[in-house]
Amino acid sequence: MHRNGRIAAAALALLAGCGGATPAGNDGIEIYGSDVSPVWITWSPVLTERKVEGAIRIFVDEGDPPEETTVSLNGVPLPPETPGDTRYYAITGAGVPPVPPGGLLTFEARVGARSTRFSFRCPEAVTLSAAPDPIQRGAPVTISWSGTIFPGPFPFAVEPQPWIRLCRHDSSPPGGFVACGSVSSGAGANLSYPATSATVTAPASLAGDLGYLVELRFPAPVATQQFPGGQYHRGVCVLVQQTAFAAGG
């Protein structure tokens, strides 16, 4: 085994609802997204750049890939994250077109004549509400969401931790300005299963002339695709969703 976690992979497959026929094969190539290398998509009503970021790990014959390995996401070639290192491939800065909430990610890895593909979806957007609305400067606000943002007790110990935080929303400079507070400063909160709301204090300093943006970050269920012999693909997509609210008080 090239890494710890074969048993964990089986558990995650159940979590992801994988079932049915076993895929025919993967040519010994594994596409592996993890808690430290997920795909991040940012979807905002105000940001002109809707980002697709992150990295993906590739294994070949349960070891590091050879130099001729090529990887793409949604048809866009991905460069090695670090020149000369064939293990991780960079999504950030690769020019992948925006992926909307619920959108499909398709990775393809090739080594000479060998190839494999793996597709999985990002989280669907949820509807956010604030009480009170408008959000009052310097006062507590409770943010609730309409949908399920946890597939179950969260399987990762570190990242990507689901959170909610408040951001400043200004009209200037042209195109708008967004600056987010940090969870550690009290402008947000980490979320734990099975939360359906969170209460934070809205810093007056984050109230822009257009009000606040509330940023909710959460993952889709872990996607796995298993192959004979214990090899598998695994994917993690995290949605960073921003919603605009007016500021009052």
Query: Cα(37)–Cα(16) distance, rounded to whole angstroms?
Result: 18
Look at phi and psi of residue 61 and say left if phi exceeds 0, alpha if psi is from -120 to 50, else beta: left
Task: Find the domain containing 137 and state its range.
Answer: 128-220+240-248
In this structure, are 94 and 62 located in the same domain? yes
In this structure, are 103 and 173 located in the same domain? no
The predicted pLDDT at position 171 comes to: 83
In this structure, are 100 and 137 located in the same domain? no
In this structure, are 38 and 112 located in the same domain? yes
Confidence of residue 222 (pLDDT cuts 50, 70, 90): confident
In this structure, are 69 and 188 located in the same domain? no
pLDDT tens-digit profile of 74-90? 999 999 999 999 999 99
Tokens at residue 182, please? 């940090």
Residue 189 lies in a domain: yes
pLDDT tens-digit profile of 164-199? 999 998 887 766 678 888 888 888 999 988 889 999
Residue 119 lies in a domain: yes
Burial class (CB in 10 A: 0-12, 13-18, 19+), 128: buried
In this structure, are 108 and 29 located in the same domain? yes
In this structure, are 113 and 228 located in the same domain? yes
User: Which one has a higher pLDDT value, 64 or 156?
Assistant: 64
Instruction: Give residue 100's identity as a one-letter amino acid code.
Output: P
Residue 1 lies in a domain: no
pLDDT tens-digit profile of 123-136? 999 999 999 999 99
- Mean pLDDT within 219-243: 92
Q: Can you list the pairs that 83-87 forms with residues at least 24 positions away whose Cβ atoms lie under 8 Å?
A: 86/58, 87/57, 87/58
* In the predicted structure, residue 102 carries a pLDDT above the cut 70: yes
Query: Cα(218)–Cα(160) distance, rounded to whole angstroms?
Result: 8
What is the CATH classification number for the domain harbouring 190?
A: 2.60.40
* In the predicted structure, residue 118 carries a pLDDT above the cut 50: yes
The predicted pLDDT at position 238 comes to: 94
Complete DSSP assignment for 89-158: EE-TTS-PPP--TT-EEEEEEEETTEEEEEEEEPPPP--EEEESSSEETTSEEEEEESS---SSS---SS
